[in-house]
Amino acid sequence: QFENACNYRSTHGNFENDRLYMLLSAISKLIVAVVFAKYWGIQGIVLGTIVGLGFIIYGRIQFVFRIILQISMRKYLRKHLLFSLLTGIEIVGIKYLFAWLDFEITYANLLVECVLIGIIMIVIQSVLFYKTKEFQELLRYASEIVNILKSKLKHS
């Protein structure tokens, strides 16, 4: 998710809003690296880098949610946790289904399993989320892509 936050911030072009976090990052990195380098050597310097990166990650994510998206980070994280939990349940359910089906181990069956897993997950996700605005937006994008491809094929 951090890479997405960096991309949003870069695209938005407002670099001033997270400069405090950049400053905190530099100060914490320097202090932690100097203190722990004395005891742990290079590992102390790496620890300082990780601690400093934590401030940058937090600052950029805060900036993206508060300024650009104007949504609650907690609400987003709860929704993300719910989606992750549902995906985990799907994976476990599919794992037990395929253990019960007991396919013979071959490359052809591996390909069949992959296709079936994809289809099953698409069906489950569609049933669970077809009323959400995100799903409707995804359908709209898919429709636009299909229309673009059709027009390209007609011109060929």
The predicted-structure confidence for 90-135, as pLDDT tens digits, reads as follows 999 998 998 898 888 889 888 998 999 999 999 999 998 899 888 9
The predicted-structure confidence for 22-54, as pLDDT tens digits, reads as follows 899 999 999 999 999 988 999 999 999 999 988
97, amino acid identity: L
Grade residue 64 by pLDDT with cuts at 50, 70 and 90.
confident
Q: What is the DSSP string of 16-82?
A: STTHHHHHHHHHHHHHHHHHHHHHHTHHHHHHHHHHHHHHHHHHHHHHIIIIII-S-HHHHHHHHHH
Query: What ranges do the domains of the chain cover?
Result: 2-69, 74-155
Tell the burial category of 55 from Cβ atoms under 10 Å away from its Cβ (0-12, 13-18, 19+): buried
pTM listed for this prediction? 0.55
